[in-house]
Amino acid sequence: MDSDDEMLVRLLEDEQVFDDDIREHLLIIASLQNMLDAEAEKRKRPRRGGSRPVRKKSKPRQRMEGHTMMHNDYFADDATQADNFRCQYRMIKGLFMNILHGVREFDSYFKLKHDAVGIAGFSSIQKCTAAMRMLAYEAPADTQDDYLRMSESTAIECMYKFCRAVVGKFGKYYLRGPTEEETARIMAQNAARGFPGMLGSIDCMHWSWKNCPFACQGIYKGSHGYCSVVLEAVADYDLWIWHSFFGMAGSHNDINVLQQSPVFSKLVKGHAPPYNYEINGHEYTKGYYLADGIYPK
């Protein structure tokens, strides 16, 4: 594919994303107008008292008011909280919009829809924000009702579908090991920074498990004093996390986790790409990972 074809494909993809954004904005505007018309019509009707044996009505959550507030705070051209976007979302606005467009393309659940009676549901911004806040801040699902106007069950559903969509959409590129060309690029980049032969930085973090069963606390409680699950990850200088290993009990240290991790499986099987470099007069043919200290001195 030449450069003209690649440019044409990129223009078509950008046009599709732009059309989806315009469609969602038009649906939100129409829903707000319908809500105002319904409120005006309700005021014209005579008020009738008395109780009726009917099913309890759904709780009005004012979803469009929540979207309007969030859009004005973070996503408008002159957003009120534009300077605090990175602090609140733990990422820049451009990255968030790329993730939003990706999961919306992968799963139509994240598109704005109307229910059987014509009431607009949650926008893609509200759904992705609820999932990211629960993952980034470990926020309970029932805390999304005040600002996002979202119930606990809907917030949990958004988080599960968001995780599946992220893995399905971005897993082929991010959740995999580097190719030979990418390995050469990473090593050249690290060599320029004074680390010849380095494949990446490896480290482990402890993910807190608040509701760990009492019978398992002896295994999952480590030196930190709380129950946790260990996450091992490898990242390069551009923060591309191309390896992750999750699930070991919090009582293990980094060496125990590394022994169970598949990070060195290619090296052990002899499938790792060779790379020749010299340090202090010694020749080496395999790369290494940069790690911090495990035990205190």
| pLDDT, tens only, 7-48 | 655 655 666 666 677 777 777 777 777 776 776 666 665 554
232 strand-pairing partners? 204, 245
6: phi then psi, degrees, rounded to nearest 5: -65, -40
177-228 tens-digit pLDDT: 788 788 888 888 888 888 888 888 888 888 888 888 888 888 888 887 889 9
| Higher pLDDT pick, 37 / 165 | 165
Q: Residue 46 and residue 14: Cα distance in Å, rounded?
A: 50
Q: Residue 155 and residue 129: Cα distance in Å, rounded?
A: 10
Half-sphere exposure of residue 130, counting CA atoms within 13 Å on the CB side?
Answer: 32
Contact 200, 282 (CB under 8 A): no
Of these ranges, 61-75, 213-227, 260-274, the one predicted with the greatest mean pLDDT is 213-227
pLDDT-wise least confident of 21-35, 68-82, 155-169: 21-35
